[in-house]
Structure 1
Amino acid sequence: MSRAYNFAAGPAALPEAVLKTAQEELLEWRDAGASIVELSHRGPEFLEVAREAEADLRRLLTIPDDYAVLFLAGGATTQQALIALNFASPGQKADYVVTGHWGKTALKQVTPYVDINIAASGEDGGFRTIPARETWRLSKDAAYVHITANETIHGVEFRPAWGETPPDVGDVPLFADFSSSIASEPIDITRYGLIYGGAQKNLGPVGVSVLIVRRDLLERTGQPRANIFNYASHLQAESMLNTPPSYNWYLAGLVFKWMLAEGGVEEFARRSEEKSRLLYTTIDTSGGFYRNDVDPAVRSRMNVPFFLRDESLNDKFLIEAKDAGLISLKGHKVLGGMRASIYNAMPVEGVRVLAAFMKDFQNRHG
C-alpha cells in the first residue's frame, strides 16, 4: 500500500526518508545495543544525537554564535507563556501584532504576566491581511515586539510584497513565532531577538520545540519563576535540565540532516514558491468554484485555506480526495472549508496531484 499525500497542518507529514531511517534504527541505534528512545539522555549516545542536531540546525539556518539554541518539551504555546516570564519585568509592556488565531493565542498566554499593548491587529478584517507597518502603535519601552511569522489557520504570512520583512521595530527586540514556516526559506537571524516554534510542521514531530535567542537577552531578570521555566538554566544544562523528549529530538535531528542533504533552505524556498504558486493559480483560475480570501500580498506559502462556492460539496470533496490519495484537507474549525498545508516534507508532485484533482472535481461538479 502506498502512502497518501498528507496535507495535515500539524502534526504534519514527515519526510519518508526520515521515517525509514527511524524505522531501521528503532530497535538498535548505531550498535548501542538498544533503541535511542531507551537510552539515557545523559549518556554518550544521546549526547551525540543532541549535539549533532544543534550543529545541523545551526548550519541549516545559519545561526550566529551569539545566539543560543534550545530544544524544549511542549509546543509553541508553552513558549509563549515562558517568553514573558523570562524577558519582561513585572508590569513591563510587551507589544503584540495580531495577524490570526495563533497571534491571539499568544496573547492569552502572556495576559497574567505583562501589560499587553496590541500594536496592530487584523481581526476587524477577518485576518485576511496584515496591517501596514506605518499603522503599528509601538511602545517605546516595550520588553519586545511579538509577531507570528505565518498564521497556520488563516493562511497569512509576512511576505516581501507586504513590506519590509521582517518589519523594522527599532531598538526593541523582535520576537517571532516561526512554528509553521521555519526552514522554508533563508532567515536573517540577526534581525530577531528570538525565534521559536513547535517542531511538528517543518522541523520534526510533535512534542519538542526549538528556541533561538540572542544570548545577551538571557541576562534579563524577567519575573519570579521556577528554575524549570528559566531559559538560561536550560541553556546551561544543554536543554537537559530535566528529561527531554529524546525521541522527538532525535527525529528532528534526522529531519535537519534530510533538509541539508536536499539542498538546504534555499532549495526549500524554491520548492515552496513552486508549490504555493501552483495551488493558488488553481484556485484563482477556477472562476469562483474555489476561492481564497487572503490578500495576495500576504498569502502563506505553507498553509492554503480555500473554500468551495457550493459548501454542500465539502464532504464529497473530502471523500473523493481521500480516494485519490489526498488526506487531511479539511479546514480548521475556526474557518471551515478546506486547507492544504504544504510544508517542506510535501513534495511538489503531491501538490501537482492535488491541483489535478481539484480541476477534475470542478469539471465534474461545477
Structure 2
Amino acid sequence: MLFSSVVKRKIYFTELITSNSSSDSLRRKLEDLLKLMLLVWARESHVISKITAGERGVDKTIVVKSESGEFGFRIHGSKPVVVAAIEPETPAESSGLEVGDIIISVNGVEVLDKHHTEVVKIAHDGCETLELEVARTIGVLMHEQQEPPSQPIFSGYLWRQSGQAKGAPNTKKWVRRWFSLRPDNCLYYYKTEDDNQPVGAMIMAKHTVDHCPPEVGKPYAFKIDSGEGIPLYVAADTEELSSRWIKLLKQAATQGTPWLDNSAHNLYQPPCSITRPDCFGYLLKLGSRWCGWSKRYCVLKDACLYFYQDANSKTAFGMACLHGYKVSSMSTNASGKKNSFEIIPPETKLRHYYFCTESEMDKKRWISALEYSIDRWIKSG
C-alpha cells in the first residue's frame, strides 16, 4: 500500500535527522507531510468505499450509544481527528471502535477537514447515539515486524462480567469474549477469536482462582483475584469447561512469569529487536531528583518502556514497567518545557516519570500509545 511506504520513509527520515538539532524545521515539515498523507489516504478510502458500496472493506460504520452521557472514547488531533483511547467496559469498547481509527464523519457530517473542537461539538450536539464512519489504520501504523505465534495452552469463549466496579455482583452485565491462556502465563482476552489485538490481559502470577456461588448470577462462574484490586469474574458454558479453566489457571498462577523474564531479556537487546512495539522514538526524559533533561531513544512494548542512549544502541540502560500507571499532559508552567507529559504511578512509593517531545503531534502520539499499551492490562492488582 502507498501509505505504508510513506510511513516507512517517514521513520527512515526521522532517524536521519534526529541527531541534528538544526533539522527541527525539516522534521516538523516531514511530520506535516505525514499528516497530509494520512488525510489523503483516509479521503481516498472514503471515496472508494462509497463508489464500491463498501466492498473495499477499509471504512467501517460504527454506532456508539451513550450511557449516562458518556461514549467512552477520546480523540486527538485535527484535520483529521484520530481515536486516541477507548475506556474499558464502555459503549465505545463494545461497539468495535479501535484506537487509531480516523473519524471520517459523525452522524452524517463529514469531519475530515474539521478541527478537534468542531468534532467534539458535533459529537455532543444533544445526541445520545453516534454513527461514525471511520478509516481503520491500526494495521498500517503498527510496526511491520511480526512476533512468531506461540500456541496457547488453552483457548475458548467465556462470559466476562462487565461493570465490575459498580453495583451488586448479580446486577452486572455479562459479555462473551475469547480468552487465551498462553505459555507466558498471561491470560489474554479478545472480542472474537479472529482478533489479533487483545482487549485486555492479566499476569496470572500470585492470583487465586475459585468457584463462585450462584449469587454471582451465572452458572459455572469463577473468580480470578489478586487480593488487591477488582476481581475478574468469568463463566464457562459447562461445568467441565469451568473445571478445566480453573485447573489450568491455578497452575499458571503458581508458575514463574515468563512475560517478566522476556521483558528483562529485552533490556539486553537492541531496540530494533523488540517486535511489534506500541511506540518508539526519541523523548526528552527528566532525570531523578529533577537533575536535568536528557534525550533518550525509547521503545514501548506491553506497558514496558525501554530507554536507550540512541537508536543504534546495542542494549537498553533502563526499563520502566508501567502497569497501572496513568498518563497526563503537563502545562509548560508546570514542567518548564513545551509538549511535556507525565506518567503517574498507582502508588506514591513508585517512581513518577516526566517526558517532553519535540512537537505537539509527537506528544499526542506518545500519550495515545501509552494509554493504549497500559489500558490493555486488566487492572486486578
TM-score (norm. length: structure 1): 0.26
Computing the radius of gyration from Cα coordinates, the structure with the larger value is: 2
Considering fraction of residues, name the structure with more strand.
2
The answer to which structure, 1 or 2, has the higher relative contact order (CA under 8 A, 6+ apart) is 1
Considering fraction of residues, name the structure with more helix.
1
